Structure 1
Amino acid sequence: MVNPILKQVGTIFIPVSNIENARDWYCEILGVKAEGEIQFGHLYVLPMEGTGIVLDSKIYSEDSVFKIPAFHLNTENIQEAFHFMRNKGVELITDIENNHYFNFKDPDGNILMICQC
Structure 2
Amino acid sequence: MINNPFSKKVGSIFLPVSNLEKSRDWYCDLLDLPTDGEIFHGHLYVLPLNGLNIVLDSKIYAEDTVFKKPVFHFDTDNIEDAYEFIKSKNIEPTTGIQDGQWFNFKDPDGNHLMLCKC
TM-score bracket for this pair, using the shorter chain length = over 0.9
Q: CA RMSD in A?
A: 0.9
Helix, strand or coil at the partner of 2:37: coil
The letter of the residue matching 1:60 is: Y
Distance 2:60 2:52 in 1: 20
Task: Provide the residue aligned with 2:52 in structure 1.
Answer: 51
Distance 1:114 1:73 in 2: 5
Helix, strand or coil at the partner of 1:104: strand
Task: Provide the residue aligned with 1:86 in structure 2.
Answer: 87
Task: Provide the residue aligned with 1:22 in structure 2.
Answer: 23
Task: Provide the residue aligned with 2:109 in structure 1.
Answer: 108
Aligned residues: 117
**Deviation of 1:4 (Å):** 2.0
* 1:56-79 residue CA offsets vs partner (Å, 9 max, x unmatched): 000000000000001101111111
**Deviation of 1:52 (Å):** 0.4
Unaligned runs of 5+ in 2: none
Task: Provide the residue aligned with 1:12 in structure 2.
Answer: 13
The letter of the residue matching 2:32 is: G
Distance 1:7 1:99 in 2: 31
Is 1:38 equivalent to 2:42 in the alignment? no
Helix, strand or coil at the partner of 2:81: helix
**Deviation of 1:8 (Å):** 1.1
The letter of the residue matching 2:69 is: I
Helix, strand or coil at the partner of 2:26: helix
Task: Provide the residue aligned with 1:98 in structure 2.
Answer: 99
Distance 1:75 1:35 in 2: 25
Helix, strand or coil at the partner of 1:8: coil
Q: TM-score, normalised by structure 2?
A: 0.95
Q: TM-score, normalised by structure 1?
A: 0.96
**Deviation of 1:91 (Å):** 2.3
Unaligned runs of 5+ in 1: none
